[in-house]
Amino acid sequence: MFYPCALASAMLVAGCNASPTNNTAALPETANSTTNQTMTFPVTKTDAEWRQELTPEQYRVLRQADTERPFTGLYWNTKEPGVYRCAACKQVLFTSKDKFDSGCGWPSFSDLASAKTVILRNDDSLGMRRTEVICAHCGSHLGHLFDDGPKPTGLRYCINSASLNFEKTNPPPPNPEEKK
């Protein structure tokens, strides 16, 4: 029996997640993956507590590093001004000023709201080398980082909608870089 939908979906995921150049040299430094077990975070909860607080989809993505299907999440096409918080611990991770339309079906950001809000680590699952993005505050899985984003950073934080809570702001969040 042939399942065309499942196959198309798998190809979409692989096509979008794989960096076309497969060159990770430009990415920021990743944490040593051997230290993963000893990482500690300001927000720590038991697995039972996370299960209780999060929706089943949020739990699968944030705590089990699952990836939502492209073009199905809440925020892949959101263009309103606001901030994006970690859905698990509510820390602000990204702002609308860095969100761009990558065409890949997941919310994409070219930069972080502020430095050190996420931790990067190597992810060798699915037979390819990728850079996983996790929340520095609670250790939850957010998505992956690629080096094919727009200038000036050249970065693309490819983040699951399920990992984010959008909070609309009006007026738009201030951009300190505009005052030069």
What are residue 143's DSSP bridge partners? 133, 159
Rg value, the chain, Cα: 16
Give the interface size with Zn ion as a residue count (CB under 5 A): 7
Of 9-17, 84-92, 114-122, 172-180, which part binds Zn ion (CB under 5 A)? 84-92
* Residues between 16 and 55 with contacts to Zn ion, criterion CB under 5 A: none
**One residue of 13, 54, 61, 89 binding Zn ion per CB under 5 A:** 89
**One residue of 88, 118, 133, 162 binding Zn ion per CB under 5 A:** 88
Of 89 and 120, nearer to Zn ion (C-beta) is: 89
Token pair listed for 82: 């606001």
Distances (CA, A) of 68 to 37, 43, 119: 25, 24, 20
What does residue 148 show for φ and ψ, rounded to 5 degrees? -115, 30
Cα–Cα distance for residue pair 38/24, rounded to 1 Å: 25
Nearest alpha carbon to residue 107 among 23, 16, 32, 171: 16
Q: Is residue 138 at the binding interface for Zn ion, with CB under 5 A as the rule?
A: yes
Of 9 and 117, nearer to Zn ion (C-beta) is: 117
Bridging pattern class, strands 156-159 and 99-100: unpaired
Active-site residue, 158 included? yes
Of 90 and 168, nearer to Zn ion (C-beta) is: 90
Q: Is residue 137 at the binding interface for Zn ion, with CB under 5 A as the rule?
A: yes
**One residue of 112, 133, 135, 159 binding Zn ion per CB under 5 A:** 135
Of 15-23, 66-74, 131-139, 149-157, which part binds Zn ion (CB under 5 A)? 131-139
Nearest alpha carbon to residue 88 among 138, 133, 52: 138
- Min. distance of Cβ 86 from Zn ion in angstroms? 3
Distances (CA, A) of 34 to 9, 64, 121: 32, 18, 10
Which entry of 16, 89, 138, 158 is annotated as an active-site residue? 158
Of 98-106, 123-131, 140-148, 154-162, which part binds Zn ion (CB under 5 A)? 140-148
Which positions lie near Zn ion, rule CB under 5 A?
A: 86, 88-89, 135, 137-138, 140
Query: Which residues are catalytic, by number?
Result: 158
